[in-house]
Amino acid sequence: MRSPPNAVFGALQAARGRHVMVRLVLEQQPYGMGSYAADPAYNFLQTYVGQVRWGGQLAFRYTHASYLVADGARTFIGSMSWTDTGLGANRELGLIDTDPRVASAGERVFNADWNQRKLHSAPNAVVVSPDGARARILKPDCNRTQVHRHLHRATHRSGDNPRAYRVARLWPASAGGYTKRCLAGLSAPAPLQVTIVRQPYMDARA
Amino acid sequence: MIVDGKTLLISTGDFSPTSLDHSRELGVIVTDTSTLKAVQALFSRDVAGIPAQPTPIPSPTVALPTPAPIATDTPLPTSTPPATDTPVAITPVVTETPQLLAPGPTATPLFADVTPTKIVLPILP
State the CATH number of the domain containing residue A85.
3.30.870.10
* Residue B74 within a domain: no
- Supply the ipTM of this predicted assembly: 0.77
Give the structural domain span for B44.
Answer: 2-48
Which of these three, A86, A116, A133, is where a domain ends? Answer: A133
* Residue A203 within a domain: no
Query: Do A126 and A144 fall into the same domain?
Result: no
* Residue B20 within a domain: yes
Query: Do A147 and A120 fall into the same domain?
Result: no
Over the stretch B24-76, which tens digit does the pLDDT of each residue have?
999 999 999 999 999 988 888 877 777 766 555 555 444 333 444 434 444 44
Rounded alpha-carbon distances, angstroms, from residue B89 to A155, A172, B66, B82, B100: 49, 42, 26, 11, 28
* Residue B121 within a domain: no
Q: How much is the pLDDT for A12?
A: 93
Query: Do A68 and A123 fall into the same domain?
Result: yes
* Residue B11 within a domain: yes
Q: Where is mean pLDDT largest: A51-55, A145-149, B13-17? A: A51-55
Q: Any bridge partners for residue A153, and if so which?
A: none
* Residue A205 within a domain: no
Query: Do A18 and A110 fall into the same domain?
Result: yes
Which of these three, A80, A109, A133, is where a domain ends? Answer: A133
Which of these three, A133, A160, A188, is where a domain ends? Answer: A133
Give the structural domain span for A169.
Answer: 138-197
Report, in angstroms and rounded to the nearest whole number, the Rg of chain A calculated over CA atoms: 19
Instruction: Report the alpha-carbon distance of residue B3 to residue A139 in Å, rounded.
Output: 14
Closest partner residue to B10 (CB to CB) among A93, A137, A193 is A93
| Beta-carbon separation of A108 and B83 below 8 A | yes
Query: Do A84 and A62 fall into the same domain?
Result: yes
Mean per-residue pLDDT for B69-89?
Answer: 44
* Confidence bin at B6 (pLDDT 50/70/90): confident
Contact B29, B7 (CB under 8 A): yes
* Residue A176 within a domain: yes
pLDDT at B106 over 70: no
Tell me the count of A-B CB pairs closer than 8 A. 260
Contact B13, B23 (CB under 8 A): yes
Query: Do A128 and A28 fall into the same domain?
Result: yes
Of residues B103, B101, B97, B121, the one with CA closest to residue B112: B101
* Residue B8 within a domain: yes
As a whole number, the mean pLDDT across chain B is: 61
Q: How much is the pLDDT for A34?
A: 73
pLDDT over 70 for what percent of chain B? 41
Contact A57, B24 (CB under 8 A): no
Query: Do A124 and A39 fall into the same domain?
Result: yes
Q: Tell me which of A41-45, A70-74, B31-35, B46-50 is least confident.
A: B46-50
Of residues A25, A127, A89, the one with CA closest to residue B11: A127
The number of distinct structural domains making up chain B is 1
Mean per-residue pLDDT for B11-18?
Answer: 84
* Residue A120 within a domain: yes
Query: Do A157 and A122 fall into the same domain?
Result: no
* Residue A204 within a domain: no
A157-170 b/e with 16+ CB inside 10 Å = b? ebeeeeeebebebb
CB contact residues (below 8 A), chain A span 95-134, against chain B: 95-100, 102, 104, 106-109, 111-115, 117-120, 125-130, 133-134
The number of distinct structural domains making up chain A is 2
Q: Does residue A48 sit at the B interface (CB-CB below 8 Å)?
A: yes
Over the stretch A172-204, which tens digit does the pLDDT of each residue have?
444 455 444 444 444 433 334 555 555 556 666
Rounded to a whole number of angstroms, the distance from the CA of A160 to the nearest CA of chain B is: 17
Query: Do A47 and A108 fall into the same domain?
Result: yes
Higher pLDDT, A53 or A89: A53
* Residue A202 within a domain: no
Over the stretch A8-22, which tens digit does the pLDDT of each residue have?
999 999 999 999 999
Question: What residues contact B125, with CB distance under 8 A and at least 6 apart?
Answer: A31, A176, A178, A179, B14, B16, B18
* Residue A79 within a domain: yes
Q: Where is mean pLDDT largest: A35-39, B68-72, B104-108? A: A35-39
Query: Do A102 and A145 fall into the same domain?
Result: no
Query: Do A167 and A184 fall into the same domain?
Result: yes
Q: Where is mean pLDDT largest: A32-46, A114-128, B73-87? A: A114-128
Mean per-residue pLDDT for B78-83?
Answer: 44
Q: Where is mean pLDDT largest: A108-122, B67-81, B85-99? A: A108-122
